[in-house]
Structure 1
Amino acid sequence: MTINADPQELAKFGELAHRWWDPESDFKPLHQINPLRLGWIQQLCPLAGKRVVDVGCGGGILSDSMARAGASVLGIDLSTKPLRVAELHAMEAGTQGVEYREIAVEELAAEQPAGFDAVTCMEMLEHVPDPASVVRACATLVKPGGWVFLSTLNRNAKSFLLAIVGAEYVLRMLPKGTHEYARFLKPSELAQFCRDAGLGLQSSRGLGYNPLTQRYSLGADTDVNYLLACRRAP
């Protein structure tokens, strides 16, 4: 199987792995938005007792929080160092109900079709060569009636200015080179990937940032960061 990953992207996040759980590090935005995305997931799909796979889990920020919410979580990624950091954090924090594997989502989908109540894939689609393949694999992994949660960046002038120029070069919220504009996805494009994979769109939210208060919030504006919730037909 051809691995749907960019070696440069894997290396980039591998080099930053030791900073993953420092809330004031390069991953500060992930720590700040995690309560918002976890709350949104919980509203639509209460996690207690659910079996969940977190695709592109990195150092495990979302995986860990979903396990603490009562889910049985498998975090998967193809970058070795962040996975080791995730495992170490779970051990040190005493988090129960979470495990990690270095495996491609397409490979896991072939291994465990319809094996999960919910699938999350957050801030990952803009880093892979073939995002549609990831969406298809997520649809295969989820049980009939189950939920798939996705998030990524919109592709337009506003997102270029705010997510790349603003976040990486002006405010320095993210390391330079974190994102490649050409890989951003319009909501209509991602929604089409979902429909093609047999997923029905249920909800969408935008993720906004206020530089004055330095706070994130969920709302209706999907111009920059956005989240989609889909369900597989029963």
Structure 2
Amino acid sequence: MSGIDQTQINANVDHAEIDKFSALAHKWWDKDSEFKPLHDINPLRLFFINRHASLKNKTVLDVGCGGGILTEAMAHYGTKQTMGIDMAEKSLKIAKLHALETQTNNVNYRLISVEDLAAEMPAAFDVLTCMEMLEHVPDPATVIRACAKLVKPGGWVFLSTLNRNIKSYLQAIVAAEHLLRLVPKGTHDHKRFITPAELARMCRTAGLITADSKGLTYNPITRQYRFTDRLDVNYMLACRVGC
């Protein structure tokens, strides 16, 4: 398996994180549940992705798809085929059920690691997304290398995570988890947050070229998210795979 060691794959799953999201699996599509922030930011994520990659008729992979909120939304943009992968079986069952209920026929889901899929289907996708997932794995660099391997030359990889600084600790953990209770306590570990410089370095090492970046900010008064040019808390990168 070129560039990816099987031992790393086995070690690159945090079962405590899997259990954490599995316990909430039944709430994935409840827009007033702990997953409300994901539903609220989904239109912004879709706009950012589609502006660069133009999803229509593309083959798309969503890594760490959870219950399929982003996966299914991308499929509705007219993708040729959209696949979601995750290591939480309960979340995938919810995703599959919701796709059946909404008759979203151009989406499918698999219980498989991104590293194993990269070995099975190299250069198979036009577009890949990996959102709010990198801060939940022991070795995000291995995930990024696998993501790059899965996408065709010239294709797009979209990543999002949380910056690691005092502001992100105060906003993403103290405020979001304890004061505003936007997400459950313990959702995030600040030590696992990734600075933009660290993420950019991982991308370069994996052969990805950063084309754009955007931050997301939350207004607790209006309870709305919007884009910002500041990457100091939540942020997204759009990357091209080198030809």
Q: Shared fold by TM > 0.5?
A: yes
The alignment's TM-score, normalised by the length of structure 2, stands at 0.95
1:150-189 matches, cutoff 5 A: 150-189=159-198
Amino acid at match of 1:125: L
Corresponding residue SS for 2:182: coil
Q: How many residue pairs were aligned? A: 234
Q: Distance in 2 between matches of 1:39 and 1:64?
A: 14
Tell me if 1:61 matches 2:77: no
Alpha-carbon distance, 1:93 to partner: 1.0
Cα offset for 1:144? 0.1
* 1:47 Cα offset (Å): 0.3
Matched-pair contact (CA < 8 Å) for 1:68–1:96: no
State the match for 2:42 in structure 1.
34
Compute the TM-score of the two structures, normalised by the length of structure 1: 0.99
Q: Does 1:9 pair with 2:17?
A: yes
Give the CA RMSD over aligned residues. 0.6
Q: Secondary structure at the match of 1:63?
A: helix
Aligned with 1:25 (options 22, 25, 33)? 33
Identity value in percent: 60
Q: What secondary structure sits across from 1:94 in the alignment? A: coil
Select the residue among 221, 229, 234 that pairs with 2:238: 229
- Alignment-mate amino acid for residue 41 of structure 2: I
Q: Hey, which bits of structure 1, 4+ residues long, moved more than 6 A?
A: none
CA distance in 1, matches of 2:60, 2:228: 25
**Secondary structure, aligned partner of 1:205:** strand
Q: In 1, distance between residues paired with 2:175 and 2:13?
A: 26
- Where does residue 3 of structure 2 map in the other structure? none
Partner of 2:100: 91
Secondary structure, aligned partner of 1:137: helix
Aligned-partner Cα distance in 2 for 1:134–1:141: 11
What does 1:88-167 align with in structure 2 at a 5 Å threshold? 88-167=97-176
Structure 1 residue ranges without an equivalent (≥5): none
